[in-house]
Structure 1
Amino acid sequence: MGYLHKVSDLSALEPGQKPGEWLPYEAGFDKTPHVFCANRAYDACNWLLDPEEQAQGPYCFACQFNRTIPDLNDPKNLERWRKIEIAKHRLFHALIRLRLPLISRREDPENGLAFDFLDDGPDGSSPVMTGHDNGLITLAVREADDDQREHMRVEMGEYYRTLLGHFRHEVGHYYWNVLIRDGGRLESCRAVFGDDRIDYQKALEAHYANPPSDSWRETHVSVYAASHPWEDFAETWAHYLHIVSTLETAWLYGIAIAPRTPESAQYSSPALSADPYLELGFDEIMNAWLPLSMAVNSLNRSMGLQDFYPFVLTPAIRHKLAFIHEVIRETQAKL
C-alpha cells in the first residue's frame, strides 16, 4: 500500500519493472511507475512520488517540508520521529483535502512553510520551545514521549495535548500569515478575534501571571486562546481541523447517530451525505459534530478514557469557527 497525495488516498501496489518501482491500482493512474519516499527506509513515511516528483528529489510532498529532523544516532529519536511523522502526514492530508496553499521554504525562503524537529540540549539544558516563526514550525521532540506530553498537559491545565494538535495549532499561525495578513482580511479578522497589534510578549506574560477566570469559556475555545488574538485564531483554526478531519472519517465510514433517549431527535444525525472538507456548509458541520462528539465522548467514558472532545462550542466560539470556515471556502473558490 502507498499514499498518493494527488488523490489523497491509499492505493494497492504491484511491483514495477525496475527495482523500487511500484504501480498503483488507483483509477486514473494508468499504473504509472512510482517510488516510495526516501523516509520509508526509516519506516517514517508511506507516501509515493510520481516520475515528475522524482526528478525534484527523493522526498515526498509532505517530507520535503522538513528542514531538520532529530539526530537518529540517538535510538530514542527514531521512534519519536516516526510518531511525529504520523501526525504531520495526517495534517498534510487535511491541508491537501482542504485545497489550502502550501508554499515550501525552498519556494519562499523567508515565509515558506518548514519544520524543525529539535531535541533539548544535553541533560535537559536549552529546552526547545514548540512554536511558529514566519512559516517555520518548531516541534520539541520530547512531545512524542507520552509521559512528557501528559506531564505538560497537566502542568498547563490543558484538556487536550497531542502531536497532531500541536501541528494543527502551529499551522494556524502560518495560515494567519497567508490568508489573513497577506490575504487582505486583517480588518475582518480583527472584528472577530480582536486587535492582533497588541504586544504579543506582554500579552503572554500577563496571561501567565494572571490567568483569566472561567469567563474565557464563553468566548474562547481554550484558556490559551484568551492570551492574544493570534493564539485565539490558531486555537480556533486547530479546532476547525479537529472537527472536519473527524467528520471526514465518520463520512467515509457512513456513521449515523441515533441515540435511544427521550431527546433522541435533538441528538441524532444521519450519516453525512457530502464531503466535510469541500462541500458541507458550516451549519451542517456543526449539526453533525454535536451528536458525533457526544457519542464518542460516551464511548470513551465506557472504556474509562478521557473525553475525546472535552470542549463546549458556545455561540461566540461558533462565530469564530464560522469565520475560519468562510475564509477556507473563499480560498477554495479561487482555485
Structure 2
Amino acid sequence: MKLFRCQCCGQTLYFENTVCLNCGSTLGYLPEADRMLAVAPDGPVWRALPDAGAQTQDADPGPLRFCRNWERSACNWMLPCPEGDAAGEAGYCLACQHNRTVPDLSTPEHVALWIKIEAAKRRLVYSLLRLNLPRPLPESGHPQPLSFAFLADDPGSAEPVMTGHADGVITIALIEADDAAREERRSQMGEAYRTLLGHFRHEVGHYYWDILVRDDPAALEACRALFGDERADYAAALQRHYETGAPDGWENRFVSAYATMHPWEDWAETWAHYLHMVDTLETAAALGLRVDAGADLTAQVHIDPYQSRDAATLIDTWVPLTLALNSLNRSMGQQDLYPFSLPPDVQAKLRFVHDIVHQTSRGREPSARQPV
C-alpha cells in the first residue's frame, strides 16, 4: 500500500484515515483516481479542497459522495456523483458493491467487528484494482460474480460459521475480527500466521482459480504440473491433514503447512502470499527502504510491484525485505512478521501466479477503476 498526502497541509496519510490529524480535514479515498482527498461539504455533496502545495492542480473530480457505509464508520471510500443527481441517495463504493450479506448491525458488538472486516476488505479490493483483475458484480449477469458474506454465529446453532469460498461467495466469519479469538484459533491450529487480510487474500485465491484457471485448458494443465491435480478427493485430503498434519520435508515444496493439504489450498496459499508480497513491496517503495544485510540479502526497494512484469525481481527484492521485517519485529519482542520461507519450488509457484495475473491484466483494458 502506498502512502498518501493531505493536499491541504501535506500531512502523510494512511489508507484508513478519515480525518487529517494535522489540519482536521475530512478525508475520503476515490478509487477511480487512486487519490486520498481532503474534502468539504457543498450542500448534499462533497468537493475536493484545493492543493495548497501544488503549482498545478489535479483535475477536479467534481461532486462526490461517500459510500453509504461511511455513515456507520465502516468505509472511507467515495464515488462520483453524476451532475444533476445531487439530491439522490448515496450509493455503495467499488468495494462495498460486492457485499452480499453483513451481520445484524443492531448488535453493537457486531458493528465493531464488521468495521474491522470492512477495513481488511478494502485493502484486498485495492490490490485487485491495482492488478486490473476481473471483479464481476453480483448484479452484472456474470455466472460467478465476486461477493462477500460476513456472518455471525447463530446462537441457536451448534455449527459455527466457517470462513471459506463457494461459487464466487467469500464468507468471512465475524469472530475472525475478534483479535483474541483469532489468536486462540491460530495457536490451537498450530498456524504461524492468521489475519483478517490473510483470510481475504487466501479465499479470493480460490475465486480466481475458478475465474482464471479452471476453464483455461492450458492454464489448468500448467497449474496441475506445479500444484498437483485438484481432482483429488478434497474431503479425504482435509481429514488426512487434520489427522496427520503436513508431511515431513514439506518446507522444501510448500509455502505453508496448510498448503500441503490439497492442490486447491496450495494455490490459494501461494496466491495469498503473492498479494502479501506486492502490497508490502509497494509500502516499502513508498518509504524508500533499502536493505543491506550482505551476500545476496541486499535490495533497494524502488519498483512498482503491481506493474512489474518480472516475478524474479519481486522475489529477489522480497526475500531481503522479509529478513529486515522479521529482524525489526524481534527487536520489539514480537514474533516474525513473515514466518515463511520461499524455497525454489515455492518461487516457481509464485512466478506462475504472477504470470497468470499479468496475462489477465494485459488482456483487459486498463479500466480497473470501474466495476466489471
SS for the counterpart of 1:214 is: coil
* Relative contact order, higher structure (CA 8 A, sep 6+): 2
Q: What CA RMSD, in Å, does the superposition of the two structures yield over aligned residues?
A: 1.9
Query: Following TM superposition, by how much is the alpha carbon of 1:60 offset from its aligned partner in structure 2, in angstroms?
Result: 0.5
Tell which deviates more after alignment, 31-40 or 175-184: 175-184
Cα distance change, pair 212–247 in 1 and its aligned pair in 2 (3 A)? same
Cα distance in structure 1, aligned partners of 2:40 and 2:50: 8
Q: 1:254 corresponds to which letter in structure 2?
A: G
Tell which deviates more after alignment, 184-193 or 162-171: 184-193
Q: 1:210 matched to which residue of 2?
A: 244
SS for the counterpart of 1:117 is: strand
Query: Following TM superposition, by how much is the alpha carbon of 1:333 offset from its aligned partner in structure 2, in angstroms?
Result: 1.3
Cα distance in structure 1, aligned partners of 2:153 and 2:182: 14
Report if aligned partners of 2:308, 2:314 keep a CA contact under 8 Å in 1: no
1:166 aligns with 2:202: no
Cα distance in structure 1, aligned partners of 2:110 and 2:239: 32
- Of 15, 19, 37, which residue of structure 1 is paired with 2:67? 37
Cα distance in structure 2, aligned partners of 1:153 and 1:253: 31
SS for the counterpart of 2:229 is: coil
Query: What are structure 2's unaligned runs of at least 5 residues?
Result: 1-26, 52-56, 365-372
Q: 1:10 matched to which residue of 2?
A: 36
Report if aligned partners of 1:25, 1:31 keep a CA contact under 8 Å in 2: no
Cα distance in structure 1, aligned partners of 2:244 and 2:100: 36
Q: 2:270 matched to which residue of 1?
A: 236
Cα distance change, pair 134–28 in 1 and its aligned pair in 2 (3 A)? farther
Cα distance in structure 1, aligned partners of 2:334 and 2:50: 39
SS for the counterpart of 2:291 is: coil
Deviations 1:126-152 (A, max 9, x none): 200000001101110000001110011
Question: How many residues are treated as equivalent by the alignment?
Answer: 329
1:299 aligns with 2:299: no
Deviations 1:169-194 (A, max 9, x none): 00000000111013442111111111
Where in structure 2 are the equivalents of 1:147-226 lying within 5 Å?
147-184=180-217, 185-226=219-260
Where in structure 2 are the equivalents of 1:61-210 lying within 5 Å?
61-108=94-141, 110-122=143-155, 125-184=158-217, 185-210=219-244
Cα distance change, pair 192–56 in 1 and its aligned pair in 2 (3 A)? farther
Query: Following TM superposition, by how much is the alpha carbon of 1:51 offset from its aligned partner in structure 2, in angstroms?
Result: 2.5
Tell which deviates more after alignment, 79-88 or 108-117: 108-117
Q: 2:44 matched to which residue of 1?
A: 19
Q: 2:320 corresponds to which letter in structure 1?
A: P
Cα distance change, pair 117–30 in 1 and its aligned pair in 2 (3 A)? same
Identity of aligned residues (%): 48
Query: Following TM superposition, by how much is the alpha carbon of 1:327 offset from its aligned partner in structure 2, in angstroms?
Result: 0.5
Q: 1:218 corresponds to which letter in structure 2?
A: N
Query: What are structure 1's unaligned runs of at least 5 residues?
Result: none
Query: Following TM superposition, by how much is the alpha carbon of 1:28 offset from its aligned partner in structure 2, in angstroms?
Result: 4.9
Cα distance change, pair 207–256 in 1 and its aligned pair in 2 (3 A)? same
Cα distance change, pair 25–239 in 1 and its aligned pair in 2 (3 A)? farther
Greater share of residues in helix: 1
Report if aligned partners of 2:120, 2:200 keep a CA contact under 8 Å in 1: yes
SS for the counterpart of 1:35 is: strand
